[in-house]
């Protein structure tokens, strides 16, 4: 263990009570996407000695906090703090925020002059809305050389098998009529929408690995004695890559228009927001994180083949800057996040130990980037070699 690593790990432990109190405060007071005002107040209070900017990227619950300056590298520590509706911190974002905060405080204490900039980025609405996407589009990550975060989970995995994801709103238009008084004049929009669900169900078994379509009906009509003239559904689409997601969205669009032609309805399809891109792991940085985490006896492995855990807006960050998103377990491998049990684990003794270990590993990785120019260069070379510097899908794309 290097002197710098020992320093940051000692500083994390010095702040352990402070960090756990913050994690528990967020856990007791969950706030959902874009409404995380109290969480931001708590975090900014803890970062009071940093140079803080609130409301970045036009988002009231986004912020940045800076330590250091100069021509050296910029290392970003990403904090998530939104909760799930009805389930609270069942994804453990209270631990993500506390670990990122702990890493920031430890790096500041160990490196009063880091020879670059330590940037703490508060990222709202990961669970729905994609705050990081807006931050990317507004240039928050333009000068960043490494984006670091961890996520609590059910596995100890060096990187996250996160797929691309988007939500489509499909609106079917028909013609209202009385179902018995003049039934031949009606065109049932809901029947057309249900036929689309049936068509998707027939196609679903043939989707490639990593692809998925799940939908809900959000509007089905006004009354039982009126043929519905409008019906609407929202579909969540996932695919292994962002390019594959575009293809899947085009397939759903084609099915919707074919069903409309068959049922005499018309349909419109829109993307509600820019897609979450698939995650591109920086193995150069992830290996360093894993080595630091091993000092606490936690050994990270590769994800299980064929397992896809969901999607996240960290994918969009990973298109423009070397990024890591390892999973570190707070529950057993037969359990899952987004459950009441996981919410309990996010305030447990194991959750505390995992958060502190992750904070130390994040801080150690940040110090490595500051002190080793070759590490930063290797991370950028890895990203550029794959041609991943450019976003694949324009924001606000609408499907005809």
Region 262-285: what's the mean pLDDT?
A: 95
pLDDT band at 6 (very low <50, low <70, confident <90, very high): low
Residue 209 has pLDDT above 50, yes or no: yes
| 257, two tokens | 């228009």
Residue 398 has pLDDT above 50, yes or no: no
pLDDT band at 305 (very low <50, low <70, confident <90, very high): confident
> Does residue 103 sit in the same domain as residue 235?
no
Residue 128 pLDDT: 85
Region 75-79: what's the mean pLDDT?
A: 98
Region 230-235: what's the mean pLDDT?
A: 98
> Does residue 284 sit in the same domain as residue 137?
yes
Least confident of 139-153, 164-178, 386-400: 386-400
Residue 202: CATH number of its domain? 3.30.70.360
245-248 long-range contacts (CB < 8 A, ≥24 apart) are 245/163, 245/164, 245/165, 245/166, 245/275, 245/278, 245/393, 246/392, 246/393, 248/207, 248/211, 248/213
Q: Is residue 399 part of a domain?
A: no
Enter the pTM of the model. 0.91
> Does residue 153 sit in the same domain as residue 297?
yes
| 218, two tokens | 């959000």
Residue 352: CATH number of its domain? 3.40.630.10
Average pLDDT over the chain, rounded to an integer: 93
For the stretch 24-43, pLDDT in tens is 999 999 999 999 999 999 99
> Does residue 194 sit in the same domain as residue 112?
no
Q: Is residue 77 part of a domain?
A: yes
Residue 138: count of CB within 10 angstroms of its CB: 14
**Pairing of the two strands 327-329 and 151-153:** parallel
Q: Are 8 and 107 in contact (CB under 8 A)?
A: yes
Domain limit, last residue, from 275, 299, 322: 275
Q: Name the residue range of residue 214's domain.
A: 164-275
Residue 186 pLDDT: 96
> Does residue 125 sit in the same domain as residue 172?
no
Residue 151 pLDDT: 98
Region 347-369: what's the mean pLDDT?
A: 98
Residue 393 has pLDDT above 60, yes or no: no
For the chain, the domain total comes to 2
Residue 58 has pLDDT above 60, yes or no: yes
């Amino acid at each position: 263990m290097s002197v710098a690593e020992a320093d940051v790990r000692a500083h994390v432990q010095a702040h352990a009570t402070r960090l756990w109190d913050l994690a528990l405060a967020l856990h007791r007071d969950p706030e959902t996407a874009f409404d995380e005002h109290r969480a931001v107040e708590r975090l900014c209070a803890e970062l009071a000695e940093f140079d803080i900017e609130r409301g970045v990227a036009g988002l009231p619950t986004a912020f940045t906090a800076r330590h250091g300056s100069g021509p050296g590298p910029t290392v970003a520590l990403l904090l998530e703090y939104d909760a799930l509706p009805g389930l609270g911190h069942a994804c453990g974002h209270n631990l993500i925020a506390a670990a990122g905060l702990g890493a920031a405080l430890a790096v500041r204490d160990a490196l009063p002059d880091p020879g670059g900039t330590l940037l703490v980025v508060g990222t709202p609405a990961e669970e729905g809305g994609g705050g990081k996407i807006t931050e990317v589009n507004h240039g928050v990550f333009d000068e960043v050389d490494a984006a670091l975060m961890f996520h609590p989970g059910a596995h100890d995995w060096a990187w996250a098998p996160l797929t691309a994801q988007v939500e489509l709103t499909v609106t079917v238009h028909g013609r209202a009529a009385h179902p018995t008084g003049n039934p031949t004049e009606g065109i049932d929009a809901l029947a057309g929408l249900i036929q689309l669900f049936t068509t998707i169900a027939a196609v679903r078994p043939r989707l490639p690995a990593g692809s998925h379509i799940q939908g809900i009906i959000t509007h089905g009509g006004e009354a039982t004695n009126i043929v519905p003239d409008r019906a609407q559904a929202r579909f969540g689409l996932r695919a292994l890559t962002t390019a594959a997601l575009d293809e899947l969205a085009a397939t759903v669009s084609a099915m919707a228009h074919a069903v409309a032609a068959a049922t005499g309805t018309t349909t419109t399809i829109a993307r509600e927001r820019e897609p979450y891109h698939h995650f591109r792991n920086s193995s150069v940085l992830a290996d360093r994180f894993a080595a630091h985490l091993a000092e606490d006896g936690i050994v990270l492995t590769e994800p299980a083949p064929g397992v896809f855990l969901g999607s996240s807006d960290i994918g969009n960050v990973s298109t423009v800057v070397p990024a890591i998103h390892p999973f570190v377990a707070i529950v057993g491998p037969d359990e899952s996040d987004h459950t009441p049990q996981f919410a309990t684990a996010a305030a447990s003794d194991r959750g505390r130990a995992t958060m502190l270990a992750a904070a130390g590993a994040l801080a150690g990785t940040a110090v490595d980037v500051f002190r080793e120019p070759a590490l930063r260069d290797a991370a950028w070379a890895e990203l550029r070699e794959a041609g991943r510097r450019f976003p694949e899908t324009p924001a606000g794309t609408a499907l005809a």
